[in-house]
Amino acid sequence: MSGRKSPTEMMRPVHLCGSTLDHRAHVCAFFNSADEKYRVLTPFILEGLEAGQKGVHTLDPRLRSEHDQRLKLAGVNIEAASQRGQLEFLDWSDTHLLGDEFSSDRTLSLFQKIAASATRGGFPLTRFVTDMGWALEAGLDANALLEYEATANRAWMQQEGPVHPVICTYDLRRFTADVVVDVMRTHPLVVVGGLLCENPFFVPPEAFLEELRGRTPTLLQKVG
Strands 15-16 and 19-20: antiparallel
Amino acid at 136: L
pLDDT class of 11 with cuts at 50, 70, 90: low
pLDDT class of 191 with cuts at 50, 70, 90: very high
Residue ranges of domains in the chain, CATH in brackets: 25-196 (3.40.50.300)
pLDDT class of 7 with cuts at 50, 70, 90: very low
The stretch 96-122 carries a mean pLDDT of 93
pLDDT class of 23 with cuts at 50, 70, 90: confident
pLDDT at residue 41 is higher than 80: yes
pLDDT class of 10 with cuts at 50, 70, 90: very low
Res 3: pLDDT: 47
Res 124: pLDDT: 86
Q: By percentage, how much of the chain surpasses pLDDT 70? A: 92
pTM of the model: 0.92
Q: At what angle do helices 64-73 and 34-50 cross, to 10 degrees?
A: 60
Res 211: pLDDT: 95
Res 155: pLDDT: 75
What is the residue-averaged pLDDT of the chain?
91
Per DSSP, the three-state class of 149 is: helix
The stretch 36-50 carries a mean pLDDT of 97
CA distance 95 to 111: 8
Give the DSSP H or E segment for 12: none
Amino acid at 206: E
pLDDT at residue 33 is higher than 90: yes
Res 157: pLDDT: 64
Res 187: pLDDT: 94
How many Cβ atoms from other residues are within 10 Å of residue 191's Cβ?
25
pLDDT at residue 56 is higher than 70: yes
pLDDT at residue 53 is higher than 50: yes
Phi, psi of 96 (to 5 degrees): -65, -35
pLDDT at residue 4 is higher than 80: no
